[in-house]
Amino acid sequence: MKTNKRRIPFRSDHVMGFAAMVISLLTLLIFMYQTHLLREQSRLSVKPRLTFSKNIDRTITLSKKDSLTSTKVSLSLSIRNDGLGPAIIESNKVVHQNREFDILTFFDMVYPKLREYGVFNQITDLKVGGAIPVSQSVNVFSYFYDIVDENKIKSYLEISDFQELPFNISVVYSSMYQEKWMVTSNEEGHPRER
């Protein structure tokens, strides 16, 4: 018994139509991938990166006879945007012994005796919604004291070195694309994503 198989005629216009559909589909996929890459490049081109920096400067005053008169010390903490876009401040706080404080009132509430040993020249509130532009720094606080009081201050703060402050300043910031990161003053390395 013979089976009747129906043969589909091989025609070049069918092959050409099928090839055109495959090429169109591949073009669409490539276009979607390129759009994704452009979006990612655009997002990364405005990514901020905040870092904290502690500075200790000593100013030595000499008398006319070249004898040491006094040594003044400046301790400051600043935050800098080393990224590619502005950093928009979402929140900031000082954490001390698992309690949270506002930056402007922290030193008066927790360490009031610091004013007996020195002077706070500047305490800056990192305003929520404010931005830190690219390559710009904001001085969080500056504290000036006489070197004679340095050991008293370290004892009062219960530290052995000013590079290890007994409190932590935490800042949450975002990019223009609403991606969020957190950076803290006592941790080194890359900011953590939020």
Residues 7-27 have a mean pLDDT of: 85
Is residue 6 situated within a structural domain? no
Is residue 172 situated within a structural domain? yes
- Assess whether 19 and 80 both reside in one domain: no
70 or 183, higher pLDDT:
183
Q: What is the pTM of this model?
A: 0.76
| Coil vs helix vs strand at 99 | strand
Domain tally, the chain: 2
Categorize the per-residue pLDDT at 69 as very low, low, confident or very high, splitting at 50, 70 and 90. Answer: confident
Sign of CA dihedral 59, 61, 67, 69: negative
Give the domain extent around 19: 13-44
- Assess whether 35 and 73 both reside in one domain: no
CB 164 within 8 A of CB 52: no
